[in-house]
Amino acid sequence: MKTQTKEIQENLTAADAHRILEQGNKRFVQNVKAQRDLKSQVFETSAGQYPFAVVLSCIDSRVPAELVFDQGIGDIFSVRVAGNVINNDVLGSMEYACKVAGSKIVVVMGHTKCGAVTSACKRVELGNITELLSKIIPSVDKVHPEKTDLSEEEVEEVAIENVKHSIAAIKANSSILSEMEASGEIEIVGANYSVETGEVTFL
Ligand SMILES: [Zn+2]
């Protein structure tokens, strides 16, 4: 598997970037990971990086974006925060990835059995976690208003809604990214990762 170069990145479309991620996850699920020499990639990327994607995912230890998309050193920008929520620092990171560093796709990837989403559904309040969860509560309220005892299926519905909510927040609060999407320079897509099967489903 080739290391990302300026030339490769420049010739990729948003649709190409989407397909690379889909194919990478397919390899991961089938346990046929691409051959790559990570140590060589460290050397090859030392003078500069040309990642093709930025992925916002949860801090969950079971959801490492590079591994589940079978990517190497220098391939993707990985933004991680519990519950894959949006704040200005996350938006700034995404804007850097696309506008400055040339990435072609923004993925917001939620996952099944998410502790942050489950805690938001239970309206947990604890230290700084309270403010973090307040970014997920609107999705809880949208799917199951005034309910605190959600079933597993209902929690998964909230997780999907939370991804959609993050996508909407990107488009509403980043004119840079929404303009790049409108002009076809980038794609902004949601996804859901199954901790049971390792499969990524694009929404
Ligand atoms: Zn999570």
| 152-165 confidence digits (pLDDT tens) | 999 999 999 999 99
Domain-located, residue 86? yes
Instruction: Quote the mean pLDDT of the chain.
Output: 97
Domain-located, residue 120? yes
Q: What percent of the chain has pLDDT over 70?
A: 100
CA pair distance 76, 54, nearest whole angstrom = 6
78 Cα to the center of ligand 1, angstroms: 15
Domain-located, residue 201? no
Residue 76: its pLDDT value, please? Answer: 98
Tens of pLDDT, residue by residue over 163-189, are 999 999 999 999 999 999 999 999 999
24 Cα to the center of ligand 1, angstroms: 21
Torsion sign (Cα): 160, 164, 165, 170: positive
| Residue 114, domain CATH | 3.40.1050.10
How many independent structural domains does the chain possess?
1
178 Cα to the center of ligand 1, angstroms: 26
Please check the confidence at residue 147 and state whether its pLDDT lies above 90: no
Under a CB-based contact definition with an 8 Å cutoff, are residues 108 and 21 in contact? no
Give residues with Cβ within 8 angstroms of 166, minimum separation 6: 56, 84, 85, 86, 108, 190
Please check the confidence at residue 1 and state whether its pLDDT lies above 90: no
Domain-located, residue 202? no
Domain of residue 87: give its range.
6-196
Residue 145: its pLDDT value, please? Answer: 85
Question: How many CB atoms neighbour CB 126 within 10 A?
Answer: 9
7 Cα to the center of ligand 1, angstroms: 35
